[in-house]
A and B are shown apart, each in its own frame.
Chain A
Amino acid sequence: MGAKKASPDLLNSSFSFKSLKLKTKQQELLLRVSILGLVYVLAFIARLFSVLRYESMIHEFDPYFNYRTTLFLTEKGFYEFWNWFDSESWYPLGRIIGGTLYPGLMVTAALIYWTLRFLRFFVHIREVCVLTAPFFASNTTIVAYFFGKEIWDTGAGLVAAALIAICPGYISRSVAGSYDNEAVAIFALLLTFYLFVKAVKTGSLSWALGSAFGYFYMVSAWGGYVFIINLVPLYVLVLLITGRYSMRLYVAYNCMYILGMLLAMQIRFVGFQHVQSGEHMGAMGVFLLMQVFYFLDWVKYQLNDTKLFQTFLRITVTSAILVGGIALGVGTASGYISPWTGRFYSLLDPTYAKDHIPIIASVSEHQPTAWSSFMFDYHILLFLFPAGLYFCFKRLSDATIFIVMYGLTSLYFAGVMVRLILVATPAVCLISAIAVSATVKNLTSLLRTKQKVPQTGSTKGVGSSKSSSKVTLDQSQPFQKNGAIALLVGVFYLLSRYAIHCTWVTSEAYSSPSIVLAARGAHGNRIIFDDYREAYYWLRQNTPTDAKVMSWWDYGYQITAMGNRTVIVDNNTWNNTHIATVGRAMSSYEDEAYDIMRSLDVNYVLVVFGGVTGYSSDDINKFLWMVRIGGGVYPVIKEPDYLVNGEFRVDKGASPKMLNCLMYKLCYYRFGELVTEYGKPTGYDRARGVEIGNKDIKLEHLEEAYTTSNWIVRIYRVKPPTNRL
């Protein structure tokens, strides 16, 4: 009002000021959007530690394969990529790449790359690959916000977005450089779930369609889609059991299942498995059950007579169960429905893998989870989760039932395998966010009403309530206020500890590329070991282009991607026998191993050795797995031969077989001459803290070709056979 009397200048300024002054709702919107924007940025930058500390590079093992295929895709185009037969890996078998991978990640990265090129940003494909994971993590926070909004309210959505942005359980798989399927898969997973929940809530075909496409993206990106195709039917089944069947559910599930299935079958790696393998049968069963429910509903509507309907019901249910049972029996017996795969089976019967499949049990991320790992990855979310569960049960709806089921099933699976903590993370964040949001909301509203009471006196709010409760409310006011403040402080303290924990964990534990190793020197300075890349570049520069390199399967992808040489086995573990052959060669005596290597045309052998640097995940520490996997196919290899009283040793007390097997010789060749630590004898292995047992190693059929500066990678050349006259 005062603006009218002011000068034109002031009027202008006050006008703009006035227009800036927002209504409460707009203010709230602005706040929400800016919080979300900040969370979006936070999720991205929290994942850049590794780039800042090292450089922009691809991490670990599997991402190198993804990088190599993406490179191929951007260079040769999609058609070539889809039909690519790769002769550089799994020599002499080769690998049909297009039919044995989930192309979602590569196509996504290539699309981003092409878009950027189109916009005239000429970036290298590697940069796109490195930053794909953080970018999708940021997108996940947005989905988490909408999901939280759907199951609870906007507050819970915001908290969920903030929690998931820095949750170590998710960061562990999505730092810059970890260019792996999970990077986009978690986004796709959460998106599918969100769209499905939305579809169930609204009963709209368009949301269901959206969720089907989300599912398609998930299938194209990661084998973990099996979790979706089992959780969603399970959820539908629970809704049916608890009497929550509705037309909305019918529309949502049928559309999602049928379309999702048809789309998923377009991925060659999945193909007809989607209607044949046992893992997908639950979804189909629930689909049929839905039809039965719908049919019964329709008949009930037509019949009007309850007695008639009861009889009808009995007949249909019995015959339906009978037909289903027979169909399942016939399908399994005739082999049309294939039994469950080992990986999936090991989730349901956790002891299965340990006893039957060493190749699955050997991978460290397939180990069962101890409580400290949960604590490490979730921190205070673990305390908040039960409270969130309780809140969900107090306000039960189709959406909260879903999130509870998602949380509990995924946590069970996370308990079986460490890597599945990743799948559980969104659910844990969402449920914990409900707890935080509901608590904070309750407490602050308590604080606010206290402030308002003296002002409004006994007008509307308090006057309408009963007089008796009014008295108690008035009496408890001062205390409740204090209590609420104390609780709020407690909650914020916990949340700040969470932020500190997450930052620290991200920086210290999850941001090492594992291709470049870092250690602290004696003076606290950081020492970088770049031996892997040194070795791979040596291979690229100094060996014939058609050379075949034998190594343990962990390094296969890296050798093909960075060294550009053919490998015998790699991280795609589809052929157990081939891996076992390499395991057998590594655990045999040199002359036996030589025959195996000759039969595989091996030119170079590469081993990873940590005895000089104290790097503990080297081939000697992995050696027992080579023996186990080798022994699983070739019974001549027996684990007890390499152990002394059940103990794995490399010092003088080691078993003679151990001291003379190929792996031992290649790792410790010339090591007996070396002093690694002051005050220790020569040949002191720092990774295992012992003096080695065989210092005088002679090689007959192999010769040392290259050893990196810190001895981490050692490459040997296989000598051609001597002339036979």
Chain B
Amino acid sequence: MTDHTTLPHRFFLSISLLSILAGSQPDLTKELVSLRSSSESGVIRLNDDTVSKFITSVATPRPYSLIIFFNSADLNSNPLQEFLSEFAFVSASFIANNNNNNRSDVANKLFFCEIDESSDSESFGLFGIQFLPQICLVDPLMENLQDKTGRMEEEDVDGTAESVLEFIESRTNLTVGPLRRPPLLSKTQISVIAALITISAPFLIKKVLNGETIFNNNRVWQYGAVLVYFFSVSGTMHNIIKGVPMFVRDHQDSNKLVFFYEGANFQLGAEGFSVGLLYNVVGLLLAYVSYALVRVRNVSEQRVVMMLAMVVSLLAVKKVVYLNNWKTGYQIQTYWPSSWH
């Protein structure tokens, strides 16, 4: 019997609840939309009050999802701010892609927000944020804000807009659409550059015809060539491709820095550069001795410089050979005829 009485009762309750939801929540959505439109990239800056207003004090099937970027201006961390701007790209792209007249309901399902620890630490506690960067998706049903399921997984957080996009599209059934990164140069910049080029073109062409450009300067090419050589043989490309740091800290003793890595197929940044420098020192000394030094009039100066050059070259070659043997573990031997043994 009790069941019979409670069922309509519940039904009524839920109806009234729904009507309340329908009555109050468009206002919240509208408010969010207006907040969003006041920010350039569409990222809403939440504070402790707005967190409770939009999240904690709203009954659970909220009509919108919030994706929150946890930031800390006090940390003064460059990667974090770069990540935030990437996050803003995603937000701007989402709005631009979905805010057409027929899809604005999609755009109003998801709002991009940011909470700053330096001013609103209370919300940080609410979410139980221990480390940064973190991104949390508050979906319409989420009640326990400390729940880890809404978080972007640690290994997926790599600071790119693509990762955020992927996270959003995998967790919600919304599509962000293509990322619209701002072009490297704005339109005004491009037009200024184009104008500059057109104005200077006649002068440049004249210079080229007269052979007076920087490219006709022998020295420029010379230094350029040595530089290219230096960067090639010191393994700069290796460092860039593998993203190698210049040096690492020792595992056992964190005060000690390790500059040289033992093992043939890998190197640290600093070691490549130092060895590349040694190559160049020896080669350029050789060139200097045989081209410039012979023109020096002062004999004793000649002698001193030459001795120095020879000693430096010897040391450099020895050092490189030693390092190479140590790094690769090879020990080069001579092959003598077997009858000599």
Contact = CB atoms under 8 A, between A and B. Distances in A.
B296 to A, nearest CB: 10
Contacts of B290: 387, 438-439, 442-443
Interface of B: 155, 201-202, 205-206, 208-209, 211, 213, 215-216, 218, 221-222, 225-226, 228-229, 231-238, 240-242, 264-267, 271-272, 275-276, 279-280, 282-284, 286-287, 289-291, 297, 299, 302-303, 306, 310, 313-314, 316-317, 320-321, 324, 327-328, 330, 332-335
A393 interface: yes
A404 B218 CA distance: 13
B283 A383 contact: yes
A368 B240 CA distance: 9
Contacts of A390: 222, 283-284, 287, 291
B228 A412 contact: yes
Ranked 6 nearest A-B pairs via Cβ: A386-B283, A390-B287, A415-B237, A368-B238, A411-B232, A370-B267
A382 to B, nearest CB: 5
Chain A interface mostly helix, strand, loop or mixed?
helix
A385 interface: yes
Given A368-B238, A371-B233, 19 more contacts: A241-B208, A317-B201, A350-B240, A367-B265, A368-B242, A370-B235, A370-B265, A370-B266, A372-B267, A386-B226, A386-B279, A387-B287, A415-B231, A415-B238, A416-B241, A435-B287, A439-B290, A490-B313, A494-B317
B134 to A, nearest CB: 20
A475 B299 contact: yes
Interface string A382-401: 11111111110110100000
Contacts of B233: 371, 374, 382, 385, 411, 415
A479 B201 CA distance: 56
Query: Which one of B206, B231, B237, B289 has the highest number of Cβ atoms from chain A below 10 Å of its Cβ?
Result: B237
B335 A382 contact: no
B235 A374 contact: yes
B339 to A, nearest CB: 18
A10 to B, nearest CB: 40
B238 A369 contact: yes
B279 A382 contact: yes
B235 A408 contact: no
26 contacts: A241-B215, A313-B205, A350-B240, A351-B241, A354-B241, A368-B235, A368-B240, A368-B241, A369-B237, A371-B267, A382-B279, A386-B226, A386-B279, A386-B284, A386-B286, A386-B287, A388-B283, A390-B287, A396-B218, A408-B228, A411-B232, A411-B233, A412-B232, A503-B334, A503-B335, A504-B335
Nearest to B288: A390
A288 interface: no
Interface string A342-380: 000000001100100000000000011111111110001
Contact of B332 (A350, A380, A408, A504): A504
A371 B241 CA distance: 14
A416 B237 contact: yes
Contacts of B271: 371
Contacts of A386: 226, 229, 279-280, 282-284, 286-287
A640 B153 CA distance: 13
Contact of A243 (B216, B280, B324, B333): B216
Contacts of A415: 231-233, 235-238
B229 A385 contact: yes
A419 interface: no
Contacts of B222: 389-390, 393
A372 B225 contact: no
A392 to B, nearest CB: 8
A459 interface: no
Contacts of A313: 205, 209
Nearest to A321: B201
A475 B335 CA distance: 44
A164 interface: no
A373 B264 contact: yes
B15 to A, nearest CB: 44
A660 interface: no
A507 interface: yes
Contacts of A371: 233-235, 267, 271-272, 275-276
A384 B286 contact: yes
Nearest to A380: B317
B311 to A, nearest CB: 11
A314 interface: yes
Contacts of A396: 218
A351 B291 contact: no
A507 B237 CA distance: 29
Nearest to B302: A476
Contact of A435 (B237, B241, B283): B283
Contacts of A351: 240-241
Interface in A504-530: 504-505, 507-509
B335 to A, nearest CB: 6
A236 B238 CA distance: 30
A549 B58 CA distance: 63
Nearest to B222: A393
Contact of B272 (A370, A416, A476, A640): A370
Nearest to B242: A368
A412 B237 CA distance: 8
B157 to A, nearest CB: 15
Contacts of A385: 229, 233, 279, 283
Contact of B310 (A374, A416, A486): A486
A472 interface: yes
A198 interface: no
Contacts of B321: 497
A310 B206 CA distance: 9
B213 A241 contact: yes
Contacts of B241: 350-351, 354, 368, 416
A439 to B, nearest CB: 5
A310 B264 CA distance: 58
A503 B271 CA distance: 27
A463 to B, nearest CB: 20
A47 interface: no
A414 B229 contact: no
Contacts of A388: 283
B279 A383 contact: yes
A483 interface: yes
Contacts of B229: 385-386, 389, 407-408, 411
Query: Which one of B211, B228, B232, B332 has the highest number of Cβ atoms from chain A below 10 Å of its Cβ?
Result: B232
Query: Which one of B202, B225, B267 has the highest number of Cβ atoms from chain A below 10 Å of its Cβ?
Result: B225
Query: Which one of B155, B208, B242, B286 has the highest number of Cβ atoms from chain A below 10 Å of its Cβ?
Result: B286
B180 to A, nearest CB: 20
Given A372-B328, A383-B317, A476 B299 contact: yes
